[in-house]
Amino acid sequence: MGSFMGHVVPGTFFLLFGLWYMYSIFKRYHLCRRAEAQVEGGGGGRTIYRNTASFPCPCFSRLPAEGLLKITAIIIGMTGEFVTAFEHGKFTHLNNLQHMTMFFFFGLNGLVEIMLHYRAPLPPGLDYISGALAFSMEGILFFYHLHGRTPMDIQAHMLLVWVVGGCIVATLTEMYLRKSVLPALARSYFIILQGSWFFQVGFILYPPVGQKWDENDHGQMMIVTAIFCWHCAAAFLLMLATGWIVHARTKGLSQTAVYHSLRPIAATPDAIRRFTKMDSEQVRSIINDSDEEDV
């Protein structure tokens, strides 16, 4: 990662996954709110919203797309780090070894998601635990990755360590509060923030164009702190905009589309009927319409 592209690649990985999580969480939340609103009397305080560590991809609903994508990306990343670690036939770049270790744990998280998708005999919540473990190992590796670095280099990476800590706390909190959307949104928020800050660190320490920063200048280090705060604000504004857009999009969906979208968390007709005013014939009609759309 000691290069501009070395920060852009993982930054892109975290940004894309964070955006996907944020969109999927808001979509599920607003669909569940709409289904609950159809219950006579406002739903009686019941909720069908439930957090999950990963989300099905509409294009590959029968496959653990997230887990497969994680493993594919990790294999590519580890291969690149391994190949570039050699100099004159010797494995000399130990930083690459740390990066490979970090990639491995995220690949392990992807493997757990795949196993749970195919109903392997694993305890529930292990996908959350493996995700928190991956973030923990990332934080440890970055914390002890700064020996002999310049003050600005240390500052930029320590800010990243704090963001990784937010990912850990949000992931574990979401695991325990499965019916609360807030920790799920916090997890996506910190993943997006981590991705954008990876990009920023690349531009600060390894600028592809323009003048290089003075990594020992206190004034410029203060600017780095301000830029980090702007990233925090931008990620929050992005979350607000995403929530509004997804709400507007789900508001106009038909009952068939709502049922089709909620099937992963309410798989049976009775589960849907408990939260709607539809009778058996209406539910059966929706199921038939959804099945025809899947063909």
At residue 253, the pLDDT reads: 73
At residue 189, the pLDDT reads: 97
Query: Which tens digit of pLDDT belongs to each residue from 226-267?
Result: 999 999 999 999 999 999 999 988 887 776 667 666 765 554
Query: C-alpha 122: how far from its chain's center?
Result: 22
Instruction: Give the global pTM.
Output: 0.85
Low-confidence residues of the chain: pLDDT under 70: 1-2, 37-47, 255-257, 259-261, 263-295
Reference 98, options 65, 142, 129; nearest CA is: 142
At residue 174, the pLDDT reads: 96
At residue 181, the pLDDT reads: 94
Residue 90: in which H helix or E strand, if any? strand 90-91
List alpha helices for the chain, DSSP H: 4-37, 65-83, 94-117, 126-143, 151-176, 181-205, 218-251, 255-262, 269-273, 280-294
Long-range CB contact pairs, 233-241, < 8 A, 24+: 234/196, 235/189, 235/192, 235/193, 235/196, 236/189, 238/22, 238/192, 239/22, 239/185, 239/188, 239/189, 239/192
